[in-house]
Chain A
Amino acid sequence: MSITPKTKRRNLIAPAEPKTQRLLNRRKVLTGMAAGAVTLSMGPAFLRRASAATGPIKIGMPLALTGPIGIVGQQIKRSCELWAKMKNASGGLLGQKIELVVEDTGGNPAACVRKTQQMVDRDGVRIITGIVFSSEALALAPKLKEWNTIFMSSSNGDGRLTADALVPNFFRPNTSGPMGARTVSLHLRQSKSNKIAALGLDYAWGHNSVQVFEEEMKRAKKNFVGKLFAPTGTKDYATYIAKLKDLDADAVFLVLQGDDNNAFLSQAKQFRLGEKMELLTEIVDLDSIRAVGDASLGLMGSSRYSFTYNHPKNKEFVALWQKEYNNVPDTFEGESWQTMAVLEAGILKAKSIDAEPLRAALETVELESVKGKLTMRKCDHQAVQQGFMVKVVKREGFSHPVPDVVAVYPGDVTTPRCNKTSYDD
């Protein structure tokens, strides 16, 4: 299924009109008006630019802090705040303090674009991060060039952002949706389960991941028995559960999140679906596990980040987090931490926060992060990184079940081909 018309792709990566032309147009419009007024309006803008060069490093965060997915925005905010606090305590970056400019978008792309525009124009922000929804990210991406701003993704899973919809100033240090689907597929290759079904949310992310998964299953010579899509905000999953039973699958791949994920897992447990088939999910997170409690036990899936991953960098981070927040970090808290580590490495390498040198530096970042070895890929700005398969289990010392890492797949098999959302083998 083609998700976007061809022309749209072209427009997404088409360069914005040159700056000189814009200035020219402006002048045309201003013809007949007092020339002094021009300097009046341009003046403050120049002053702001100047102060941006010497002042603190401002990072714009247009986040969905309220609304149904507000929890993701809250996680990203917490993580970046801790990172900024740590950096500032040791003198900042390049001798400059870090300042986070946080705004609530409510998850609305229109508000997201408007507020980011304001951050760029008024606050002199040249780096943005934390955008929660793919719809917001897709709306912002075409504007990055005009704004001369770098977009560091920490939660955007939409595969196309590093494929068809890639723009030069976009970077994705986090795990994408197709990578999650791939990790589950790699796990299933070794599994006895043969009849496989999929259930995804009826929007771009769900369709994208299910499509990648279906191709994977066909290549693995599994019997793919069917795919279902539920509209976002579905309250009653009984009919989908009945259909999955009717398909008689051995395993089902789930691409659900937030309220939908919680509703499905709670109701699947009540219908004893887990006794009939293996439940595998694209994204396991603590927030959902806490919300559904024991109904999540036994669930397996890929994890974009788990605090249980055994790695020195991760242990250090979890200890720091526990000290600060008296809690363990969740998925997007770990992902944001990794994104900030990549950004930091890029800034130090470029010795600048200007888009041009920073972009060049980010394209070659290599580091050990909380998720292990990470290499930024120049060709599509996706970070090559490990994939984690986890199982939700009870563990002593925790009031809720926790995801336990059961398998780790190296970055070169979990990351798709350059500029693609699919895999070869």
Chain B
Amino acid sequence: MTARLPRRPASAKATAARRSFGEGGSFSRGGRVLGVLALASVVALSGCARGCTSSRPPIHLNPSMDNQPKVLPQTASTFFYDGASMRQPVPGTVPIGGLKEDTAFFTGKGADGQFVATIPVTVNEALLERGRQRYAIYCQPCHDARGDGKGILFQRGNVPTASFHQEKIQKYPDGQIFDVITNGTGLMSGYRWPIPPADRWAIIAYVRELERKRLASATGAAKAPADNPAGTK
């Protein structure tokens, strides 16, 4: 029984096996079995274990129509000129149910082109709650939870951010705030895309509620500091 394996540069494990199991280039049978097992385990472990990270896309051993040549949302297209598979509506067309006749609701402006003074929907608890949620998502990052304009941009970039508790904004008609949310103003971008019109009105209702509470607590504290200021609502 002499080694029939050709002598060639072996892996570190095989070299170690040779050292322990036989000198002069001869393997014992046990040494060979162990060597094969060691090689197999090296192959298994040098690959990646479950859950280790890789920037290469997953390989599905059975492709099984996992990736079909169909258009999915937000994918690239080699067909359309702008490279996007999602299309814009044709200019001048209106989708079914998409006609925006109620100008006060959709633009914040009445038929006369002036901003509407009050919210054109019923303000109730449900609307305020919806407004509070939406405010926390879209407004709070910059205007902060209390509406003082001390949010991320102010803290990190010292960017002047409007406070809702200044007289100018308190006197805005509700429709003007709607217009600001829709189209933006100054450094603020328009939030037409992420906030649908009904939610914009809900946010305005919540902002008005914030202002009312601040005013009430200010006047309440000034009038009667001892008279339960926390209870002013």
Whether both chains belong to one complex is answered with: no
